[in-house]
Amino acid sequence: MHDDGSYDEPPVTGPGGRSSAADPVSRETDQQGWSRGAEFRDPAPRPADPDPDPVVRQDVPSGGGLHPVSGVPANLPPGAGGPQPTSGVPANLPPLREAPESAARPANVADPRPVPVQRNAAPPARFEPLPASGVAQQSAPQAVPGSDAVAADTPPVDGYELDANPSTYVSRETPTREEDDPPLAMEAMRAVHILNPSGEVTMPRPERTRVMCVANQKGGVGKTTTTVNLAVALALHGNRVLVVDLDPQGNASTGLNVPHHTGVPDVYDCLIDSVPLEEVAQAVEGIPNLWCVPATIDLAGAEIELVSVVARESRLARAIAAYPGQFDYVFIDCPPSLGLLTVNALVAAQEVLIPIQCEYYALEGLNQLINNINLVRQHLNPKLEVSTILLTMYDRRTRLADAVEQDVRNHFGDKVLQAVIPRNVRVSEAPSYGQSVMTYDPGSRGATSYFEAAQEIADRGAKEPVSRNA
């Protein structure tokens, strides 16, 4: 009852028995206790919503009534210790300070303060109590003993990571070691090294001409591919190389982009009609110091025609010996057979290079090839020797490839090159463009492997020279 004898109207109670009129919580205040602002206030009071979390309220002194929006007693003067008319926060409270870490928060009470989420942000800093000036002092995060955390005066910058020294930043995109170079940069460096645009002699030249026969009676082991790529690699690095295509299929001529259609002078004319080799050899376009003796389909009937020719086994040897030019290397690409064409190549050569596919069938036919080489050495060419074994089509994903490699190395020892040719699609794509893989994609794994094999062959020839007839 008031002084004038009037009574207050009974408060309207909401669900749970709470008084909606004496509720000191503003409807514009969210669950976390932060005021939303005047622009979000409703023009008229809405009915009270059920509150699932009842809060104990204090008695509101009578007199003056309640604020129509916030429910705060209107008779309290502003700034006199009472709450603000909008948020209900007492005006005379000191500025907020961060609670010390030692102050424990009840486990069932959530922190009402919103936590901003930032990407690549530094660890949260600790705030010390406000000094006299009213400005918060921020201290750097301290390293925890026994952990790998590193203290830093400033947060890490995007794209950088902290080094052991807090004041040093290392860019993730800046290579610090040679093996950390970007893949494209490494591929470009390999391409320049393989192509050798300066034309300097980077592979040692032998004292005398090395005539190498690339032979294996099994087809599809990489004889032609090995012949073409080794010849191009040696020619690009200062050696004079001649390739003799003795295979009727003419794949070596295709790989070097040398015309070998019907009517073109080829190796058949040298074997059957005794045409000088220099009249048949063609310079390979784009590759200095490289010549090729092409093969046409006419060579398919040469074995039958050579049967009645005198000294049929040494026809090719005499043609190479009569060549007036001086070569460092002569590679003879043999057909996948042990006929008269292969015998001519074995008689003309002093070294045999055997490419071996890393599969079982390649090992099965190797024994017969070694027996034929021994027969040629005993009766026709005492200087012939198996000097080089090259493993091709190596697939590191299979155990079979590793088993074949171990068997070949255990049997032939140092004759097996350390360089191994892996399966690489670039090696197979290059002939379709009339190129070798050395010029088609010099930065590929196939080109790098053949370059290493050529380098190893050149180094072995320079260290262990063998007397050969020019």
Pick the closest to residue 420 from 408, 431, 428 (CA basis).
Answer: 408
Q: What is the reported pLDDT for 43?
A: 52
Show the beta-strand stretches assigned E in 249-404.
Answer: 282-283, 290-293, 329-333, 351-357, 385-392
Q: Which residue type does 128 have? A: E
Q: What is the reported pLDDT for 65?
A: 58
Q: What are phi and psi of 149, to 5 degrees?
A: -70, 140
Q: Which residue type does 162 have? A: L
> CA 354 to CA 120: how far, in whole Å?
58
Q: What is the reported pLDDT for 423?
A: 92
Work out whether strand 385-392 and strand 290-293 pair parallel, antiparallel, or are unpaired. unpaired
Residue linked to tokens 């001649």: 242
Q: Which residues contact 139 (CB under 8 A, 6 or more apart)?
A: 125, 126, 128
Would the CA dihedral through 428, 432, 434, 440 be positive or negative? negative
3-state SS of the chain: helix, strand, coil percent to 5?
Answer: 30, 10, 55
What is the dihedral angle through the alpha carbons of 119, 121, 125, 130, rounded to the nearest 10 degrees? -80
- Decide: 211 and 330 in contact? Cβ < 8 Å: yes
101-111 b/e with 16+ CB inside 10 Å = b? eeeeeeeeeee
Q: What is the reported pLDDT for 106?
A: 55
Q: What is the reported pLDDT for 324?
A: 82
Q: What are phi and psi of 270, to 5 degrees?
A: -70, -40
Pick the closest to residue 242 from 331, 306, 170 (CA basis).
Answer: 331
Q: Which residue type does 126 have? A: R
Q: Which residue type does 355 have? A: P
Residue 279 in 3-state DSSP? helix
Q: Which residue type does 251 have? A: N
Per-position pLDDT tens, the chain of length 470: 566 666 665 555 555 555 444 445 545 544 444 444 444 455 555 555 555 555 444 444 445 555 555 555 556 555 555 555 555 555 555 555 555 554 555 555 555 555 555 555 555 545 455 454 444 444 444 544 444 444 444 444 444 444 444 444 444 444 444 455 577 778 788 888 888 887 777 899 998 999 999 999 888 899 999 999 999 999 999 899 999 999 999 999 999 999 888 888 999 999 998 899 999 999 999 898 999 999 998 898 888 898 888 888 999 999 999 988 889 999 999 998 888 999 999 999 999 999 999 888 888 878 888 999 999 999 999 999 999 999 999 998 889 999 999 999 999 999 999 999 999 999 999 999 989 999 999 989 999 999 999 999 999 888 765 444 43
| DSSP letter assigned to residue 146 | T
- Decide: 297 and 273 in contact? Cβ < 8 Å: no
Q: What is the reported pLDDT for 177?
A: 47
Which CATH superfamily groups domain 206-462?
P-loop containing nucleotide triphosphate hydrolases (3.40.50.300)
Burial class (CB in 10 A: 0-12, 13-18, 19+), 405: middle
Q: What are phi and psi of 213, to 5 degrees?
A: -100, 120
Domains of the chain, by residue range, sit at: 206-462
> CA 366 to CA 315: how far, in whole Å?
26
| CB neighbours of residue 425 within 10 Å | 11
Size of the chain in residues: 470
> CA 215 to CA 346: how far, in whole Å?
9
Tokens encoding 462: 């320079």
Q: What is the reported pLDDT for 367?
A: 85
> CA 258 to CA 250: how far, in whole Å?
10
| DSSP letter assigned to residue 142 | P
Tokens encoding 171: 């860019």
- Strand-pair partners of 386: 352
Specify the pTM: 0.61
Half-sphere exposure of residue 404: CA atoms within 13 angstroms, side-chain side: 24
What is the dihedral angle through the alpha carbons of 36, 39, 44, 47, rounded to the nearest 10 degrees? -30
Tens of pLDDT along 318-345? Answer: 999 998 888 999 999 999 888 899 999 9
Q: What is the reported pLDDT for 119?
A: 52
Report the chain's terminal Cα–Cα distance, integer Å.
Answer: 134
